């Protein structure tokens, strides 16, 4: 029998994500490209963006495939990125940011509760409005938590069922679709847990 703690899991929408450990111990999932832009800051203006994207992809591959790591510190990533950029003939110093990338957080359970008697129809309308409001803040990461509880609440279920799984997948697909349809000025990660 699984403990309640082993039930929580995170759905990463893109395969270019790693979990980055900040100096304060907090861990945040983020794309390698987004972190690279944060690390390079204004130096991004002085280099070919495709070269930097390739270097970030190489560092991501190194950690995920060669070292089989899903979690790294910002210092580890910064050091590997600088080595990759030097290997491509660029002499760029990267400075780890002191804080996490700008993220928004929404609780799916609260959105379900706010949907009231309109159940799923009201929920998806409320979810779309919440997503648009959060995107208006120009975040680098959108976080939506409480997925499992939200699904059970909307489905009126006490135990997980095939209907719950279908609704779970529908919510995740809906969020992905909404983000893809928006015209974003900068990359934005979506994390649903």
On whether both 109 and 187 belong to a single domain, the answer is yes
Question: pLDDT averaged over the chain?
Answer: 78
Residue 32 in any domain: the answer is yes
The pLDDT, as a whole number, for residue 162 is 94
Residues 118 and 182 in one domain: yes
Whether 64 and 113 map to the same domain: the answer is: no
173 CB burial (10 A radius; 0-12, 13-18, 19+): exposed
Q: Given pLDDT bands bounded at 50, 70 and 90, which one contains residue 174?
A: very high
* Residue 96 within any structural domain of the chain: no
Is residue 63 domain-resident? yes
Looking at residue 38, its pLDDT comes to 72
Choosing from 32, 59, 87, the residue where a domain stops is 87
Tell whether 1 is covered by a domain.
no
What DSSP string runs through 8-42?
Answer: ---EESSTTEEEEEPTTS-EEEEEHHHHHHHHHGG
Instruction: Assess if residue 168 is contained within a domain.
Output: yes
Does residue 107 sit in the same domain as residue 188? yes
Output the pLDDT for position 44.
67
What integer is the mean pLDDT of 162-184?
89
As for how many domains the chain has, the answer is 2
Which one has a higher pLDDT value, 132 or 191? 132
Given a cut of 90, whether residue 45 has pLDDT beyond it is no
R_g (Cα) of the chain, nearest Å? 19
Classified as helix, coil or strand, 193 is: coil
58 and 136 share one domain = no
Higher pLDDT residue, 78 or 37?
A: 78
Confidence of residue 52 (pLDDT cuts 50, 70, 90): confident
Residues 152, 80, single domain; the answer is no
- Structure confidence at residue 180 as a pLDDT band (50, 70, 90): confident
Mean pLDDT of 76-82: 83
Mean pLDDT confidence for 78-104: 71
- Residue 25 lies in domain: 11-87
Predicted TM-score (pTM) above 0.75: no
**Interatomic CA distance for residues 162 and 168, integer angstroms:** 10
Question: Do 48 and 115 have their domain in common?
Answer: no
- Last residue of one domain, picked from the residues 87, 116, 148: 87
More confident residue, 84 or 99: 84
Same domain, 186 and 126: yes
User: Last residue of some domain: 29, 59, 87?
Assistant: 87
Least confident among 58-67, 80-89, 106-115, 173-182: 80-89
Indicate if 27 and 64 belong to the same structural domain: yes
Say if residue 5's pLDDT is above 50.
no
Kindly state the tokens that stand for 10: 């995170």
- Structural contact between residues 179 and 190, judged by C-beta atoms closer than 8 angstroms: yes
């Amino acid at each position: 029998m699984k403990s309640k703690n082993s039930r929580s899991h995170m759905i990463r929408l893109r395969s270019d994500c790693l979990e980055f450990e900040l100096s304060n111990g907090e861990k945040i999932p983020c794309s390698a490209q987004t972190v690279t832009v944060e690390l390079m800051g204004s130096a991004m203006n002085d280099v070919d963006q495709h070269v930097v994207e390739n270097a970030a992809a190489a560092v991501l591959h190194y950690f995920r495939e060669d070292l089989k790591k899903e979690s790294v510190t910002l210092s580890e990533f910064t050091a590997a990125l600088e080595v990759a950029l030097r290997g491509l003939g660029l002499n760029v110093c990267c400075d780890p940011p002191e804080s996490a990338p700008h993220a928004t957080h929404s609780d799916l359970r609260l959105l379900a509760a706010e949907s009231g008697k309109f159940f799923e129809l009201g929920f998806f309308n409320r979810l779309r409005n919440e997503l648009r409001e959060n995107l208006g803040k120009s975040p680098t990461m959108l976080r939506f938590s409480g997925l499992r509880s939200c699904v059970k609440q909307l489905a009126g279920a006490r135990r997980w069922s095939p209907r719950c799984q279908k609704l779970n997948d529908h919510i995740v697909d809906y969020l992905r679709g909404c983000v893809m349809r928006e015209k974003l000025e900068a990359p934005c990660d979506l994390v649903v847990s």
